[in-house]
Amino acid sequence: MGKKILLVEKNDTTRAFIGTVLANRYEVQGAKGPLDAMTRLQQGFVPHLIVSGEQSAEEADVNLFHLLDISGRFASIPIVVMVNDDQDVPSSVQKRWNGIKDVVRQPFDPQSLFHHLERLF
């Protein structure tokens, strides 16, 4: 497979659907939120890219972007954030723009998602 992606999405159905689409081209592990994502990273799954739902990046005052920043080791992993098509880019995303390499608007077709991701590899 080669390229690894950590998919952070709190909605089980959405995570399963996107994970299935991505698994056609990449090695994918899913995480339900920031703490689950950090656990997977610390257990040795170090992806080439993190794809996260914007609202999934925060959980009980724990922000995934902040955790990645302070980790040192994982701070350089590029992040793609998924936002709803009718949303402006959220302030939490703007504040962490240096690590966020792309924003994908939902709903999207799989080819559009692959296009966004391939530009980053």
Tell me: the pLDDT tens digits for 46-66? 999 999 987 766 676 678 888
Q: Which CATH architecture group holds 4-120? A: 3-Layer(aba) Sandwich (3.40)
Tell me: the pLDDT tens digits for 79-102? 888 877 766 665 555 555 556 777
Return the exposure string of 11-27: e unless at least 16 CB atoms fall within 10 Å of the residue's CB, then b: eeeebeebbebbeeebe
| pTM summary value | 0.85
**Beta-carbon count within 10 A of 98 CB:** 10
- The domain limits of the chain are 4-120
pLDDT category of residue 104 using cuts at 50, 70 and 90: confident
Task: Look at residue 33 in the predicted model and tell me its pLDDT.
Answer: 92
